[in-house]
Amino acid sequence: MLATMKDDPAGKLYAVKVIKKSGLVDDESLEHVLSENRVLQTMDHPFLVKLYASFQTSVCFFLSFSLHSCLS
């Protein structure tokens, strides 16, 4: 999914990866999602998307990626 921030006059695009918790059938699947989050937090390369934010609700995990480094 693509999203923009409400109060951003520049209208920067962000990619949002949504992972439903109900789809994580075992502890190993959950660990993969948490590992992905940890790895993406440490990545910093001009040819890769940058993790902007990650958060969760009672139903889903969300990973938000800044696309501005890829598109500029």
Domain that holds residue 25: 2-71
The CATH code of the domain that includes 42 is 3.30.200.20
Total of domains in the chain: 1
- Is pLDDT of 3 > 60? yes
In angstroms, the CA 66 to CA 12 distance is 8
In angstroms, the CA 64 to CA 2 distance is 9
Q: What is the pLDDT of residues 58-70, one digit of tens each?
A: 999 999 998 765 5
Which pLDDT belongs to residue 7? 86
Q: What is the pLDDT of residues 4-53, one digit of tens each?
A: 888 888 888 889 999 999 999 899 999 999 999 999 999 988 888 899 99
In angstroms, the CA 51 to CA 27 distance is 23
Which pLDDT belongs to residue 69? 57
Prediction pTM value:
0.81
